Structure 1
């Protein structure tokens, strides 16, 4: 299984702006997808966010973000509120897609608590992944980002990553060749993650017969790096503990940030888990394994 390009253009080309006028967006960062190879920048990251501007509340996709190239003042975390200058992405039919202006990200503050995050995000949690897929199959311009309530989770499968495809490796090699000629920085090539992951779950739609979607969360890959000294079995167990037992535990109100691919609008992946702690006495998520 190759690493998918979560929310970003599948051919990795940077979209051109529809106009020459930039717009300043104020956003709550909700997703940082795992990086993918880029011939121009070595790696690029796709970011999902919720606009928090009054009168412009909507989901936003920012691509490409060259995260390792950002100055410290421009770097941001999940659940940061930031401003960024951006333009609509002309090569992407998905209306949520914007192209950020390099170096324009300005973090304001971080939402530390679950309650602070709930105030922004709970109104946007919806029940039906099934309906989202149906609409995407019917029209490529249908809504492509959502926060989907999870009824129950049956499994998190973790398998060995097969490594970069020849096309992805060629992008990495091309970028390193550029560095040799134009740059004296010592830049390590992007390494393929050790594992891929996929959830099996049912959304809150009464018709739901189940979904299987890849997990493309930056945090899922980052944890793998920290588990490098463990065997495959031990590392996989730690990943399941974090992303299944803890984040999808009975004490959480679980929803998945989902986004689709430009070339295959009906194919959605999970960019991250929204898992605020459940108030005492509320109905509990069923974790069925």
Structure 2
């Protein structure tokens, strides 16, 4: 068995919870190592996030420390199996000075394009990346496939042992996808990738209650397409691939600080 390591990382991505046959309800987390001198990607899976004590329930852009180890079941170079009991929240990076603290970790890892991330995957197995899309064309959605009978049975089994305060995991009935061009796309080419960020699922749940079904979808489109991709934002996509289909990437989250008017380097 591979040895445990102590990692510190800046959390940049929390995907919406999924139901695993082996692990039950769990979350995939990605972030940037803060203890390696040079920023480096790391993926943590599975994280039983909603089962964690509240003091351990980290937010995006928290810096956390934990024990983790490599695993033979996921050979992607950034992937670690976390010891959830060891998670400690150390600090939080705020948005002051146009997200200066966050940019200092994200920008050194920025790839030229989505096509460049895919090329790196083919050459070295890279499975995480961040880049600026050249042009965001649309945010679309389609009906999601309902949970399988086996997945629902797993959740029902787990609910017997959950605290009454833990809310059941609600299915999001839609798959949201970005359609965009990266810097290396030809004139008529584009990428279309599913958005897996927890935020978009939670926004749907919250806004459906507030605005109704159609109103929630309009609000999501406004937030993720009109606002985040506006000319006032320096939009980047965090992307990651799927273990079973390493050439298939999804949008794991968005990084959208204010667009800097100065072209002078930050660092």
Query: Is this a same-fold pair by TM over 0.5?
Result: yes
Distance change in 2, residues 1:221/1:243 (3 Å): same
Distance change in 2, residues 1:217/1:149 (3 Å): same
Alignment of 1:64-75 (within 5 A): 64-75=46-57
Q: Distance in 2 between matches of 1:117 and 1:60?
A: 16
Query: Do structure 1's residue 129 and structure 2's residue 143 form an aligned pair?
Result: no
Query: Do structure 1's residue 185 and structure 2's residue 163 form an aligned pair?
Result: yes
Residue 250 of structure 1: aligned partner:
231
2:84 alignment partner, SS class: coil
Could you tell me which of 71, 77, 86 is aligned with 1:104? Answer: 86
5+ residue gaps, structure 1: 1-17, 283-289
Q: Distance in 2 between matches of 1:185 and 1:214?
A: 32
Deviation at 1:40, TM superposition (A): 6.0
Between 149-158 and 166-175, report the one with greater CA deviation: 166-175
2:131 alignment partner, SS class: strand
RMSD of aligned Cα (Å): 2.0
Residue 68 of structure 2: aligned partner:
86
Contact 1:38-1:172 within 8 A present in 2 as well: no
Q: Distance in 2 between matches of 1:59 and 1:281?
A: 28
Deviation at 1:196, TM superposition (A): 1.8
| 1:82-114 Cα distance to aligned partner (Å, 9 max, x none) | 111100122112011000112111111111111
5+ residue gaps, structure 2: none
1:59 alignment partner, SS class: strand
Contact 1:80-1:107 within 8 A present in 2 as well: yes
Q: Distance in 2 between matches of 1:38 and 1:261?
A: 14
1:126 alignment partner, SS class: coil
Q: Distance in 2 between matches of 1:185 and 1:75?
A: 16
Residue 201 of structure 1: aligned partner:
180
Q: Distance in 1 between matches of 2:68 and 2:249?
A: 24
| 1:131-160 Cα distance to aligned partner (Å, 9 max, x none) | 322443x46x61000012111100000233
Contact 1:39-1:172 within 8 A present in 2 as well: no
Q: Distance in 2 between matches of 1:131 and 1:105?
A: 33
Residue 168 of structure 1: aligned partner:
151
Contact 2:128-2:240 within 8 A present in 1 as well: yes
TM-score (norm 1): 0.83
Q: Distance in 1 between matches of 2:84 and 2:215?
A: 40
Q: Distance in 1 between matches of 2:76 and 2:49?
A: 23
Residue 217 of structure 2: aligned partner:
236
* Greater RCO (CA < 8 Å, at least 6 residues apart): 1
1:265 alignment partner, SS class: strand
Query: Do structure 1's residue 220 and structure 2's residue 220 form an aligned pair?
Result: no
Query: Do structure 1's residue 49 and structure 2's residue 70 form an aligned pair?
Result: no
